[in-house]
Amino acid sequence: MRRKIFISIMLVLVLALTACGSKDTAGGQDDDEMGELVPSITILSSLPEDNMVNYEMVKEVVEELKKIGVDAKAEPTDFAVLIDIIYGDDSDYDAYTIGWSGRVERLDPDMFIHSINHSANADAGGNNTEKYRNPEFDAIADAQRQEMDMDKRQELVFEAQKILAEDVPRITLYSRANVQAYNKEKFKTVENIPGEGLFNEWTPMIIEPTTDDKILRVASDVNLDTLNPMKAKSVYEWKNFRLIYDKLVRLDPSIEPKPWAATGWEIVDDTTIDVTLREGMKFHDGKPVTVEDVKYTFDAFIENNVEYFMSFLEPIDNVEILDDNTVRFNLKNPYAPFITTTLTQIPILPKHIWEEIEDPLNYENSQPIGSGPFVFENFRPGEELVAKANKDYFEEVKIDGYIYRIFGAPEGILTALEVGDIDLASEDLIPAHIEQIKANEDDKYSHLELTEVNDIGFFYLGMNGDRQPFNNKDFRIATAHLVDYDLALDVHLNGYGARGGGGLVINDANEFWHNPEVPIYDTYDPDRAKEILEEAGFTWDSDGRLRMPKE
């Protein structure tokens, strides 16, 4: 009898334990009563040889996601492949890490407010690769670019930053200081421009050789993906394009707009700008640069919907030729940064070549013809691009040309700097190499000059807002609390940079436009991340896996 009672008690206990095993310990729900599993997440990271900090930070975030019950993994991806994926037609990605460089044109906030966040730029090819959409934000982003009063525009930009900090379409991981080096025994007169570094659009024009060797050898660790200005989507191509091609306006080292291929402009009214073309300019094939080339270029970029620039071209209603030297830009609405943002970025294409191209967006352009200070000679993918000085240019160039050499890893660049095979590093040195140069600056690195400026650009975790779980704002906010921002700055960068934060897009290096009240989510706090998820209706099943809120 006792045996039967004992067996009955044990059976009841087993059934009770089994029932409890299918319950959520926090809410007491059966697994099958919960929302669906949070989908597996793949974060596309940089290759370690391309960007060790991004690579390590993704590994950290993946581990934190696993701790809260998310199936996550990191997938190191070649830079060119990553660009093709996030700008591709099918938007086939969950999340990724990459960076927006702080080019001087981006000191104006329109790039970081409108171009990468407005819903109009969320289609394939557009810069809003997070697919962020918020009508309230769109209205403010539109208003700030049309506001001609600087103080009123600042207020709108501040408001836009607040919304981004609350919505967290992306998570800024860190900003990196522009620490680069050049051979001071062979060259003098260089500029390290914030966000640009040493290989900007001015240094090759003003740098002076101090020996008979007048070829500047530049190093990069990123391959060039295309020679077509309509197809390029990264700063690495543009570092070369803006030397081979010309622009109507350039921003000088003090970040002031300087007439260039144009000799000046007249703001007729808020929506009408007349630009006077410089006389006597020639393309590298000897053909003259005319107002027809200018009109053709802007029309072609607009008609072919070159998404990389469409945010800055969209305000243009039409371009008309007034006379042999004057082009008029008629705008749909006032556009405050038209001179400093639009006219400083679009390269003048030779109409006589490009008008014959059936598909400009996919044109190989294997022999780029521009009118800039340097003439393209050849390009060997993965190895080097070679350009010679344009001796007929209206501004004197003191070097005979440059060689843009591509290395497989930062270690190769440091060695080439050490032995004198290269003269200038175009990308930021990694912290270990900075310390190595400083420690040996009186010995094998005595010929090198280190330069450092703050960067207005940033590296970030981009999240596809068209996919679960990143279409859930609370999940994005929680993820922002899983990022160890101090680890990025203090350990991986060794202090050479600045902290990030959820939704941060304009950092304090861009003092006038930075809203000091953001970011809101800039603290590493996994416990708070769990609280945010629980408050938002996320649950954990009996296996500890995170579940979406029940619909």
Largest CA distance in the chain: 112
Q: What is the mean pLDDT of residues 421-425?
A: 97
pLDDT value of residue 7:
43
Q: What is the mean pLDDT of residues 209-218?
A: 98
pLDDT value of residue 78:
94
Q: What is the rounded CA–CA span in Å between residue 458 and residue 111?
A: 13
pLDDT value of residue 16:
44
pLDDT at residue 24 greater than cutoff 80: no
- Average per-residue pLDDT for the chain: 93
Q: What is the mean pLDDT of residues 352-357?
A: 97
- pTM passes above 0.85: yes
pLDDT digits (tens, 9 = 90+) for 507-520: 999 999 999 988 78
pLDDT digits (tens, 9 = 90+) for 222-242: 999 999 999 998 889 999 999
Q: What is the rounded CA–CA span in Å between residue 308 and residue 125?
A: 7
Q: What is the rounded CA–CA span in Å between residue 67 and residue 173?
A: 20
Q: What is the mean pLDDT of residues 314-329?
A: 98
Q: Determine the CATH number of domain 41-176+456-547.
A: 3.10.105
pLDDT at residue 23 greater than cutoff 70: no
pLDDT at residue 3 greater than cutoff 50: no
pLDDT value of residue 27:
53
Q: Determine the CATH number of domain 246-364.
A: 3.90.76.10
Handedness of CA 457, 458, 464, 468 (dihedral sign): negative
Q: What is the mean pLDDT of residues 253-275?
A: 95
Domain spans in the chain, listed from the N-terminal domain onward: 2-28, 41-176+456-547, 180-245+372-452, 246-364
Range with the poorest average pLDDT among 129-133, 152-156, 334-338, 441-445? 441-445
Q: What is the mean pLDDT of residues 112-130?
A: 96
Q: What is the rounded CA–CA span in Å between residue 524 and residue 482?
A: 6
- List all residues 6 or more positions away from 379 whose beta carbon is below 8 Å from its beta carbon: 224, 227, 366, 385, 386
Tokens, residue 248? 């109507």
Range with the poorest average pLDDT among 4-13, 129-138, 210-219, 542-551? 4-13
Residue 152: pLDDT band by 50, 70, 90 thresholds? very high
pLDDT at residue 8 greater than cutoff 60: no
pLDDT value of residue 194:
82
pLDDT value of residue 520:
85
pLDDT at residue 15 greater than cutoff 90: no
pLDDT value of residue 28:
61
Helix, coil or strand: residue 221: coil
Range with the poorest average pLDDT among 5-19, 101-115, 124-138, 285-299? 5-19
pLDDT at residue 85 greater than cutoff 90: yes
Q: Provide the terminal-to-terminal Cα distance of the chain, rounded to the nearest Å.
A: 51
- List all residues 6 or more positions away from 46 whose beta carbon is below 8 Å from its beta carbon: 52, 54, 55, 58, 76, 77, 79, 82, 97, 98
pLDDT digits (tens, 9 = 90+) for 69-78: 999 999 999 9
Q: Determine the CATH number of domain 180-245+372-452.
A: 3.40.190.10
Which runs of consecutive H residues, i.e. helices, occur in 440-494?
Answer: 473-480, 485-486
Q: What is the mean pLDDT of residues 523-536?
A: 98
Q: What is the mean pLDDT of residues 123-149?
A: 97
- What percent of the chain clears pLDDT 90, i.e. is strictly above it? 88
pLDDT at residue 10 greater than cutoff 70: no
Q: What is the mean pLDDT of residues 357-386?
A: 97
pLDDT at residue 9 greater than cutoff 60: no
* 401-406 sheet: strands from edge to edge: 374-380, 384-389, 401-406, 215-220, 424-425, 178-183, 448-453
- List all residues 6 or more positions away from 84 whose beta carbon is below 8 Å from its beta carbon: none
